[in-house]
Amino acid sequence: MLRRITVAGLCLATGIFARVIAAQAGPQAGTRTINLSTGRILQAPAPGIPQKTNSFPSAVALSPDGRYLVMCH
């Protein structure tokens, strides 16, 4: 049980760290932005290193503010 919590915590910390690094990088050359009606902005191509997820994530953690979701496989 403790190992599962530790692994989930490490996955969460890694996800948050990757998100912070990607946010600091800012928009890249050749990036186009798409303004959504909700006020959010999409960037194409997506910043950072997006990864495909399989159909069975074994752990999912949502940040307290509901802004970030981390999935571990």
**What band does 28 get if pLDDT is binned at 50, 70 and 90?**
low
SS3 70: strand
Tokens coding 58: 């074994």
Task: State how many domains the chain has.
Answer: 1
- Tens of pLDDT, residues 1-26: 677 778 888 888 887 877 776 666 55
Domain encompassing residue 58: 2-72
- Tens of pLDDT, residues 38-64: 887 777 777 677 777 777 767 888 888
Residue pair 27/43 in contact (Cβ under 8 Å)? The answer is yes
Tokens coding 12: 């969460």
Cβ partners under 8 Å of residue 36, min gap 6 = 42
Which residue, among 65, 66, 63, has the nearest Cα to 15 in the 3D structure?
Answer: 63
How many CB atoms within 10 Å of residue 42? 10
